[in-house]
Structure 1
Amino acid sequence: MRRFEGKVALVTAAAQGIGRAVVRRIAAEGGAVVVTDLREDSAAALAEEIGAEHALGVKVDVTARADIDAAVAAAVERFGRLDLVVNNAGGCIVNSMPEDTSAEDWHRQLDFTLVSAARCIQAAIPHLVRTRGNVVTISSVNGIAAFGNVEYAAAKAGQIAMSQNYAARYGPLGVRFNVVAPGTVRTPNWDSQPDALEKLKPMYPLGRIGEPADIAAAVAFLGSDDAAWITGHTLPVEGGVMTGPSPLDLSPPDTLHKGF
Structure 2
Amino acid sequence: MQRFEGRVALVTAGAQGIGAAVVRRIAAEGGSVVITDLQEDKIAELAAELGDQAIGVRTDVMSRDDVNAAVAKAVERFGRLDVVVNNAGGCIVTSVPEDTTDEDWHRQLDLTLVGASRCIQAALPHLVESRGNVVTISSVNGLAAFGNIEYSAAKAGQIAMTLNYAARYGDLGVRFNVVAPGTIRTPNWDSHPEALETLSQLYPLGRVGEPEDIAAAVAFLASEDASWITGQTLPVEGGVLTGPAPLVLSTSGPFAKKY
Shorter-chain TM-score category? over 0.9
- 2:196 match: 197
> 1:55-66 counterparts in 2 under 5 A?
55-66=54-65
- 2:171 match: 172
Determine if contact 2:203/2:244 at 8 Å carries over to the other structure: no
- 2:28 match: 28
Alpha-carbon distance between aligned partners in 2 of 1:7 and 1:235, rounded to the nearest angstrom = 23
> 1:57-136 counterparts in 2 under 5 A?
57-136=56-135
Alpha-carbon distance between aligned partners in 2 of 1:196 and 1:66, rounded to the nearest angstrom = 38
Q: CA deviation at 1:134?
A: 0.1
- 1:10 match: 10
Cα deviation code 1:30-56 (max 9, x no counterpart): 0000011101121121011001x2100
TM (normalized to structure 2)?
Answer: 0.93
Residue 241 of structure 1 aligns to which amino acid in structure 2? V
Residue 8 of structure 2 aligns to which amino acid in structure 1? V
Alpha-carbon distance between aligned partners in 2 of 1:97 and 1:7, rounded to the nearest angstrom = 44
SS of residue paired to 1:230: coil
- 1:225 match: 224
- 1:47 match: 47
Unmatched segments (≥5 aa) in structure 2: 249-259
Counting matched residue pairs gives 246
Structure 1 segments (4+ residues) deviating >6 Å: none
Residue 103 of structure 1 aligns to which amino acid in structure 2? D
Q: CA deviation at 1:99?
A: 1.6
Q: CA deviation at 1:228?
A: 0.1
SS of residue paired to 1:203: coil
Alpha-carbon distance between aligned partners in 2 of 1:219 and 1:108, rounded to the nearest angstrom = 26
SS of residue paired to 2:228: coil
- 2:257 match: none
Determine if contact 2:163/2:231 at 8 Å carries over to the other structure: yes
- 2:157 match: 158
Residue 15 of structure 2 aligns to which amino acid in structure 1? A
Alpha-carbon distance between aligned partners in 2 of 1:208 and 1:199, rounded to the nearest angstrom = 10
Cα deviation code 1:116-152 (max 9, x no counterpart): 0000000000000000000000000000000000000
Cα deviation code 1:149-205 (max 9, x no counterpart): 000000000000000000000000000000000000000011121211011011100
Alpha-carbon distance between aligned partners in 2 of 1:185 and 1:26, rounded to the nearest angstrom = 19
RMSD over equivalenced CA pairs, Å: 1.1
> 1:140-155 counterparts in 2 under 5 A?
140-155=139-154
Percent identical pairs in the alignment equals 77
SS of residue paired to 2:107: helix
- 1:19 match: 19
